[in-house]
A and B are shown apart, each in its own frame.
Chain A
């Protein structure tokens, strides 16, 4: 049985139809000792086919250590949301897209309201548009030191 209702699926497809750049979801899972990995995998497997601009790559957190280090993942389930951009220089044989990593991570099952927030993140990353005011953008452009935000939420 699917997690998404037909109606939700149609709405989502319409929303995802507005994507521009493709987005890569890098999903970290684990075969054992992970209560929420399987359900997260199911959510992603229903979401990904709704747009040909969403790509999913799955790593095993326990065995794919270099990938976990590359994306700075410390726990599972985790999803890194990256934008795929055309290569800077087109060289024959080197057409693979570049990954633009804004440092946006999602830890836990994207269920309920949090599912909408994951879709929102995918849209923002695809469009490169935060939706913040011009004043906020200008303030953030002046930032010169690392800021790591952790936003805690619960499924509703």
Chain B
């Protein structure tokens, strides 16, 4: 996704090595994807749904603020 849009940045994080982050984002199961601090996707999803959930979540988040 980061390759396809200049707006997207992507971090891969080893959860066990960064307990501070794991606690902050309440990582209980992996993989966990967190978008813009708030949108959470647990486990794997088919590509289309994954992108849809993230973009819809981000758009909602922006509207609320």
Instruction: Report how far A104 CA is from B9 CA in the complex, Å.
Output: 6
CB proximity of B42 to chain A, nearest CB, Å = 10
Residue of A nearest to B36 (CB): A148
Instruction: Report how far A107 CA is from B5 CA in the complex, Å.
Output: 21
| Interface of chain B residues 15 through 65 with chain A (CB within 8 A) | 15-18, 21-22, 25, 27, 30-37, 47-48, 51-52, 54-55, 58-59, 62
A128 B3 Cβ-Cβ under 8 A:
yes
Task: Give every chain B residue within 8 A of A130 (Cβ-Cβ).
Answer: 1, 3-4
Residue of A nearest to B34 (CB): A150
A141 B4 Cβ-Cβ under 8 A:
yes
Total residues of chain B contacting the partner, CB 8 A = 38
Instruction: Report how far A75 CA is from B12 CA in the complex, Å.
Output: 12
Task: Give every chain A residue within 8 A of B51 (Cβ-Cβ).
Answer: 132, 136, 139-140
How big is chain A's contact interface, by range?
Answer: 35 or more
A152 B35 Cβ-Cβ under 8 A:
no
CB proximity of A140 to chain B, nearest CB, Å = 4
B3 A136 Cβ-Cβ under 8 A:
no
Q: How many residue pairs, one in A and one in B, have C-beta atoms under 8 Å apart?
A: 146
Task: Give every chain A residue within 8 A of B12 (Cβ-Cβ).
Answer: 105-108, 114, 117-118, 121, 151, 153
Task: Give every chain B residue within 8 A of A124 (Cβ-Cβ).
Answer: 3
A45, CB-defined interface residue at 8 Å? no
**A155-B14 contact, Cβ under 8 Å, with A132-B47, A149-B54:** yes
A147 B36 Cβ-Cβ under 8 A:
yes
A interface, CB within 8 angstroms of B: 35-36, 75, 102-109, 114, 117-118, 121, 124-125, 128-130, 132-133, 135-137, 139-141, 143-155
* A-B contacts, 21 listed (Cβ < 8 Å): A102-B2, A107-B14, A107-B17, A108-B14, A130-B4, A136-B4, A139-B55, A141-B4, A143-B5, A144-B7, A145-B7, A147-B5, A148-B11, A149-B10, A151-B10, A151-B13, A151-B32, A152-B13, A152-B25, A153-B13, A153-B30
Question: Ordered nearest first, which 3 A-B pairs have the shortest CB separation?
Answer: A108-B14, A103-B9, A130-B3
